[in-house]
């Protein structure tokens, strides 16, 4: 395989983690058994986002006892949130490509080689992602496939294609590969969405960087030859978690839509977001009337439509609060 021209490494695998001591050995072992990477220069970066378990000890043990020919580097990022961890990974990465994996993602043996091959074949691709399969601790509820994308499970068939950024149909931040050049040229140093921190489930941190890449003219691709497996524990299928997830994702919709919107178009998007989701919620209510208390998937969808409808008002409230806070501190 022909190497990419770079004075640095070919690929940096970046793993943000929070209390991942029990999960990290699995993913590290998968990475250390990758095939087709003999001619690649690559590294693994662990970004510890304020873990209070023995994550650092696990990583230091791997660094000390492994006889493998690989670079494993550890960084502590004290700003809480997935967005801060990913920004730190980009700053520290020495590879021309940055392959993000969450600590609960298990890559297939050829994941890295397929990611690199795609970079060679698609020079205009700023980011690309593959198939993400669910590895469930318990069986998901009936019709779960309707909402599986919200849990970063993506199975879009065997043909590569461009993602539809205009309609926010984009891959998750996990199992995503980006060109460092594209990120540095396109993505701001400070992001709007910080990630789900504490009790807040507000989403948006996965899609925001991709919208900036798209705005700058980079392509975002689906590459079906890259496979990862997302470990889904039982608590992520519980009603309370799923409803909070639906609301958090919905409340981010309006602000995501206006990232690449001209100022004169924002009032139009404001109204369309409210009316469009009001229509969806009304149609959904008619279709599943009397079932929302017993049909978890239908309830999830309803909560997402309602939160999306409210997202313009959430945006106004949040930004008014920031302006008021700034004035009070002057």
Q: Render pLDDT for 279-327 as a digit per residue (tens, 0 to 9).
A: 999 999 999 998 999 999 999 999 999 999 999 999 998 786 554 455 4
Q: Which of 58-67, 97-106, 166-175, 268-277 has the lowest mean pLDDT?
A: 58-67
**pLDDT value for 324:** 46
pLDDT, tens digit (0-9, with 9 covering 90-100), for 148-185: 999 999 999 999 999 999 999 999 999 999 999 999 99
**pLDDT value for 203:** 86
pLDDT band at 66 (very low <50, low <70, confident <90, very high): low
**pLDDT value for 3:** 42
pLDDT band at 65 (very low <50, low <70, confident <90, very high): confident
Domain boundaries, the chain: 9-234, 241-329
Q: Decide if pLDDT at 136 tops 70.
A: yes
β-bridge partners, 267: none
State the pTM of this model.
0.92
pLDDT, tens digit (0-9, with 9 covering 90-100), for 3-36: 444 458 999 999 999 999 999 999 999 999 999 9
CB atoms near residue 15 (< 10 Å) = 25
pLDDT, tens digit (0-9, with 9 covering 90-100), for 186-243: 999 999 998 877 667 788 999 999 999 999 999 999 999 999 999 999 999 999 999 9
Separation of alpha carbons 91 and 100, rounded Å = 13
CB 51 within 8 A of CB 18: yes
Place of tokens 């950024």: 165
CA–centroid distance for 114 within its chain: 19
Q: Decide if pLDDT at 269 tops 60.
A: yes
**pLDDT value for 84:** 95
Q: Which whole number is the average pLDDT over 66-80?
A: 82
User: How does DSSP classify residue 151?
Assistant: G
Q: Which whole number is the average pLDDT over 269-274?
A: 98
Pairing mode, if any, of strands 161-162 and 9-17? unpaired
Pairing mode, if any, of strands 176-179 and 95-100? antiparallel
> What would be the CATH architecture of the domain defined by 9-234?
Alpha-Beta Complex (3.90)
DSSP codes joined into one string, 12-77: EEEEEESS-TTTHHHHHHHHHT-SS-TT--EEEEEEE-S--SSHHHHHHHHHHH--SS-EEEEEE-
Separation of alpha carbons 70 and 86, rounded Å = 21
**pLDDT value for 91:** 97
Q: Which own/partner contact pairs does 231-234 have at CB distance under 8 Å and 24+ positions apart? A: 231/23, 231/104, 231/105, 231/106, 231/135, 231/137, 232/134, 232/135, 232/136, 232/137, 232/140, 232/151, 232/153, 233/137, 234/137, 234/138
**pLDDT value for 195:** 82
pLDDT, tens digit (0-9, with 9 covering 90-100), for 87-97: 999 999 999 99
């Amino acid at each position: 395989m022909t190497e990419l021209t770079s004075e640095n490494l070919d690929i940096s695998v970046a793993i943000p983690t929070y209390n991942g001591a029990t999960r990290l050995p699995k993913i590290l072992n998968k990475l250390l058994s990758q095939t087709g990477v003999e001619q690649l220069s690559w590294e693994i970066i662990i970004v510890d986002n304020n873990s209070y378990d023995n994550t650092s000890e696990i990583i230091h043990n791997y660094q000390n006892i492994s006889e493998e020919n690989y670079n494993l580097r550890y960084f502590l990022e004290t700003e809480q949130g997935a967005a801060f961890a990913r920004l730190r990974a980009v700053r520290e990465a020495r590879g021309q490509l940055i392959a993000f994996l969450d600590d609960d993602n298990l890559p297939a043996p050829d994941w890295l080689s397929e990611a690199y091959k795609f970079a060679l074949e698609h020079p205009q691709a700023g980011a690309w992602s593959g198939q993400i399969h669910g590895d469930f601790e318990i069986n998901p509820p009936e019709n779960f496939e309707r909402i599986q994308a919200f849990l970063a499970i993506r199975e879009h068939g065997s043909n590569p294609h461009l993602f539809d950024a205009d309609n926010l149909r984009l891959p998750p931040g996990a199992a995503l590969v980006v060109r460092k050049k594209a990120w540095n040229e396109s993505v701001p140093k400070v992001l709007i969405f910080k990630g789900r921190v504490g009790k807040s489930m507000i989403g948006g941190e996965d899609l925001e960087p991709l919208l900036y890449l798209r705005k700058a003219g980079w392509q975002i691709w689906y590459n079906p030859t890259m496979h990862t497996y997302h470990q889904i524990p039982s608590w992520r299928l519980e009603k309370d978690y799923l409803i909070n997830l639906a609301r958090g994702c919905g409340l981010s919709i309006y602000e995501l839509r206006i990232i690449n919107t001209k100022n004169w178009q924002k009032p139009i998007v404001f109204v369309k977001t409210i009316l469009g989701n009001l229509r969806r919620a009304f149609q959904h209510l008619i279709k599943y009337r009397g079932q929302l208390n017993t049909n978890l998937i239908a309830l999830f969808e309803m909560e997402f439509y309602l939160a999306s409808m409210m997202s313009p008002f959430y945006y106004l409230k949040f930004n008014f609060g920031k302006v008021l806070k700034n004035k009070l501190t002057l």
